[in-house]
């Protein structure tokens, strides 16, 4: 449908897992929505099954600067994260793991206690409240191993991982849960084991909003999807309520304005706070909805890291799904290990193109070449664990300008000692898995730009402690919501997309109800 | 290995710029235009990432790309020219591998080294012939994906369980904040 720019509309900014889900929940209930997406719509037929061309096709490459002591700041300055500028957002590129938060991961301050340098805080919601939304989110995505859906089969990379895990006494390994269909589901086909989940997935077996919530929302007749439309400022009226969005046509660079009665922002943990900071005004001199000074702070990215190993015999780990192995044994908080929180190990295959760039950034010489030379006999896994929120790991407006003359975001990231301790533990356990099945050489791969970015608009019970309340509604501006992973108070060990989806379903239902009651 | 900030910026920049290689402005080629220059850069690419299995024509392709980048702007031209001169004066291509490595270590902090290394690591492992030599088969969508007996053909380990362990649900559900708060963190940092 077409919505007039002068009409005070419900405006959602960003069409990733958070924004697309909220837009779908609202349009499903008959509420018209304008969905602004900075990128274009890439149909699945257009996805390219080659690593660098696909990167060029969809990655968010607008100017960004980085500071901090984390190695990624040196290795990949200018590319803090691997996000997508297209309809479907970064879910276009996600691998697909769908674990849930554990109950205590909603309450880390109460559980872990005080940790020097960390700004742990309890979420204002808990596992019990979120449980039904997790079920809805798993059904929306089509998580394997859940809701009676079958597991993905074992691919070669998983065979090495699972046997190594077994020989180390681990129990909780499986080929999921993943958001890639093992059997046809929700109008999408079963996996044909063609991999390239990071490049969009041409078959449509992998869930992402571009093949699910977006077409469903369009089918309601209540959605206007405006692509190449990048929000640059949220304006407020004399009462301090949000009343419009200024957005730019990224092709013509023309500036437009959409009148709004409710705004949901889902631009991810970098672009969402950037937009709020760019929306500073005389009424909100420190940035919109930022009386707490928490906008942009407590940015998290999960600790991450990878372990690769080469063997005597071929593995051909690139065949089949990119990620299809999951191990939960190390997820539980166990302070005896010397750190708070826990982590998952997940199989992950890269092509030689990406592996060369990420195996050991900056390295050269015979040892590196020998490792690459073992490509056919290689197996690999990714580490995903809870990283500590820190007040100064934050998004600010830097002095550099992007191609549109707007202040580029600066991403500051220091590793916390807890992150480093956990990563080292995970490296050891990952190597032990591969050594148990005869690894010749193992390789610890440091974090590279990836999709996980959390926090920076944290959820809090009290207005002074965070930006949004338990529904993602800004404490300071009552008709302004945040609908993406930036609301995460703390990040838990699990991959974030399922939780973002669950929170967005919950927010969408709440907002639809509030709109019907005239409370917004 | 000490890495300068500038060199790293070049490295990250080469990653970002790699895909735009084809669209670089056609700058006037005035460096690395002498006979033997491309071979010289190729010998450096090979010393950086030595693979006996790769024929020299692959490294020549990579050298061509590096030279193109060296001609992209005035700053790159200046540093590239100086770096190439260094290789020539020292007869880098005639050195044995050990001496080549030592020489490369000595120029590791130069912008020239950063440009050639940053380009090579990305372009080399993205080269179609390299993929073939590595046994990387890449895209399979057009032929209907990897088949049963292909994606799972590893036979030197037993067939694994793919379902979750029956105790997993209980393991994950046993996560009450109260219970886990009673564990004390052993401060090791």
- The CB-side HSE value for B14 (13 A sphere, CA atoms) comes to 29
For residue B175, being part of any structural domain is answered with no
- B51 part of a folded domain: yes
Interface of A with B in 239-278 (CB under 8 A): none
Model confidence at B68, in pLDDT bands (50, 70, 90)? Answer: very high
CB contact under 8 A, B160 and A154: yes
Residues of B in contact with A318 (CB under 8 A): 136-138
Q: How confident is the model at residue B135 (pLDDT cuts 50, 70, 90)?
A: very high
Q: Phi/psi zone of residue A79: left (φ > 0), alpha (ψ -120 to 50 degrees), beta?
A: beta
What pLDDT score was predicted for residue A75?
A: 87
CA A466 from chain centre, in angstroms, equals 20
Note the pLDDT of residue A74.
86
Does domain A1-59+81-94+130-142+208-299+455-520 fall under CATH 3.40.640.10? My reply is: no
Structural tokens at position B109: 């902090």
Q: Which two tokens stand for residue A215?
A: 């077409």
The residue to which tokens 């020998």 are assigned: A370
**B82 found inside a domain:** yes
ipTM for this model: 0.94
Whether the predicted pLDDT of B19 surpasses 70? no
pLDDT value at residue A77 = 86
Q: What is the DSSP letter of A101?
A: P
Closest CA to A10 of A457, A479, A473, A518: A479
- pLDDT at position B12 is 53
> How many angstroms separate the CA atoms of A492 and A95, rounded?
18
Residue B158 lies in a domain: no
Q: What element of type H or E holds B51?
A: none
Among B144, B146, B168, the strongest candidate for a mutation testing the A interface, having the largest count of A CBs within 10 A, is: B146
The least confident of A5-14, A449-458, B16-25, B83-92 is: B16-25
Asked whether residue B107 is assigned to any structural domain, the reply reads yes
pLDDT at B34 over 90: no
Structural contact between residues A441 and A456, judged by C-beta atoms closer than 8 angstroms:
no
Before A67, cis peptide (omega within 30)? no
pLDDT at B10: 45
Contact list in A for residue B161 (CB cut-off 8 A) is 162, 173-174
Give the DSSP letter of residue A42: P
Tally of structural domains, chain B: 1
Res B15: pLDDT: 54
Q: Which fold has domain A144-199+304-385+415-446?
A: Cholesterol Oxidase; domain 2 (3.30.410)
- Chain B residues with CB under 8 Å of A121 CB are none
Which residue of chain A comes nearest to B150, CA vs CA?
Answer: A319
Chain B residues with CB under 8 Å of A363 CB are: 1
Mean pLDDT per 10-residue section of chain A, whose length is 520 residues: 97 98 98 98 96 95 94 88 96 96 98 96 98 98 98 98 98 98 98 95 97 98 98 97 98 97 98 98 96 98 96 98 96 95 97 94 94 97 98 97 96 96 98 98 93 96 98 98 98 98 98 94
Q: Report whether pLDDT(B187) > 70.
A: no
Which of B121, B127, B153, B179 is the best residue to mutate to test the A interface, defined by the most A CB atoms within 10 Å of its own CB? Answer: B121
Is B179 part of any domain? Answer: no
Residue B108 is predicted with a pLDDT of 96
pLDDT band at B146 (very low <50, low <70, confident <90, very high): very high
**Does residue B30 sit within a domain?**
yes
Alpha-carbon span A363 to A366, nearest angstrom = 10
Task: Please state, as a whole number, how many other Cβ atoms lie within 10 Å of the Cβ of residue A204.
Answer: 18
Containing structural domain, residue B79: 5-134
Query: Has residue B29 been placed in a domain?
Result: yes
Of B12, B139, B188, the CB nearest to A78: B12
- Whole-number pLDDT of residue B186: 60
Cβ B176–A51 below 8 Å, yes or no? Answer: no
The owner of tokens 């922002």 is: A265
């Amino acid at each position: 449908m077409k919505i007039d720019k002068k009409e005070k509309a419900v405006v959602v900014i960003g069409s990733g897992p958070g924004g697309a889900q909220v837009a779908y929940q609202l349009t499903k209930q008959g509420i018209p929505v304008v969905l602004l997406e900075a990128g274009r719509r890439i149909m699945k037929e257009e996805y390219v099954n080659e690593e660098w061309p696909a990167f060029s096709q969809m990655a968010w490459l607008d100017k960004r600067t980085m500071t901090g002591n984390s190695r990624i700041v040196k290795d990949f300055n200018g590319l803090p994260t691997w996000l997508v500028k297209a309809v479907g957002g970064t879910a276009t590129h996600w691998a697909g793991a769908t674990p849930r938060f554990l109950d205590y991961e909603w309450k880390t301050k109460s559980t872990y206690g005080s940790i020097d340098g960390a700004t742990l805080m309890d979420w204002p919601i808990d596992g019990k409240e979120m449980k039904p939304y997790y079920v809805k989110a798993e059904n929306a995505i089509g998580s394997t191993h859940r809701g009676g859906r079958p597991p993905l089969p074992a691919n070669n990379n998983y065979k090495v991982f699972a046997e190594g895990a077994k020989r180390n006494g681990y129990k909780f390994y499986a080929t999921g849960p993943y958001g890639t269909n093992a059997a046809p589901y929700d109008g999408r086909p079963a996996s044909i084991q063609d991999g390239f989940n990071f490049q969009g997935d041409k078959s449509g077996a992998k869930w992402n909003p571009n093949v699910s919530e977006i077409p469903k929302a369009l089918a309601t007749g209540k959605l206007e999807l405006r692509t190449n439309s990048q929000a640059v400022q949220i304006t407020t009226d004399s009462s301090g309520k949000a009343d419009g969005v200024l957005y730019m046509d990224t092709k013509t660079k023309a500036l437009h304005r959409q009148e709004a009665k409710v705004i949901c922002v889902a631009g991810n943990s970098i672009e969402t706070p950037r937009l709020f900071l760019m929306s500073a005004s005389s009424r909100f001199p420190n940035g919109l909805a930022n009386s707490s000074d928490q906008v942009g702070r407590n940015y998290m990215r999960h600790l991450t890291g990878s372990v690769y190993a080469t063997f005597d015999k071929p593995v051909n780990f690139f065949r089949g799904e990119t990620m299809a192995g999951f191990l939960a044994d190390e997820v539980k908080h166990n302070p005896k290990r010397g750190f708070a929180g826990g982590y998952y190990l997940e199989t992950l295959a890269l092509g030689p193109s990406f592996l060369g760039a990420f195996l050991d950034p900056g390295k050269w010489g015979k040892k590196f070449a020998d490792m690459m030379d073992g490509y056919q006999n290689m197996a690999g896994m990714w580490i995903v664990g809870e990283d500590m929120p820190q007040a100064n790991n934050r998004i600010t407006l830097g002095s550099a300008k992007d191609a549109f003359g707007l202040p580029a975001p600066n991403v500051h990231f220091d590793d916390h000692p807890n992150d480093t301790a956990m990563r080292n533990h995970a490296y050891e356990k990952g190597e032990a898995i591969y050594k148990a099945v005869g690894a010749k050489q193992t390789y610890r791969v440091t974090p590279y730009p990836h999709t996980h970015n959390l926090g920076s608009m944290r959820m809090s019970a009290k207005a002074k402690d965070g930006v949004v309340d338990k529904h993602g509604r800004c404490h300071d501006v009552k008709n302004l919501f945040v609908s993406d992973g930036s609301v995460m108070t703390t990040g838990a060990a699990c991959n974030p997309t399922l939780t973002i989806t669950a929170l967005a379903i919950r927010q969408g239902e709440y907002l639809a109800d509030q709109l019907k009651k005239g409370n917004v | 290995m000490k890495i300068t900030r500038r060199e790293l910026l070049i490295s990250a920049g080469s990653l970002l710029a790699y895909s735009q290689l084809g669209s670089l402005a056609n700058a006037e080629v005035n460096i690395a235009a002498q006979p033997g220059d491309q071979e010289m850069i190729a010998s450096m690419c090979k010393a950086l990432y030595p693979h006996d299995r790769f024929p020299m024509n692959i490294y020549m392709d990579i050298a061509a790309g590096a030279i193109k980048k060296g001609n992209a702007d005035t700053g790159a031209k200046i540093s590239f020219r100086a770096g190439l001169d260094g290789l020539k004066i020292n007869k880098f291509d005639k050195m044995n591998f050990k001496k080549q490595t030592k020489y490369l270590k000595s120029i590791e902090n130069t912008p020239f080294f950063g440009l050639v290394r940053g380009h090579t690591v990305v372009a080399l492992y993205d080269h179609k012939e390299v993929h073939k030599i590595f046994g990387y088969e890449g895209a399979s969508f057009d032929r209907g994906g990897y088949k049963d007996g292909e994606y799972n053909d590893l036979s030197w380990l037993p067939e694994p369980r793919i379902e979750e362990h029956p105790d997993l649900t209980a393991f994950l559900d046993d996560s009450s904040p109260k219970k886990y708060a009673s564990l004390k963190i052993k401060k090791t940092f």
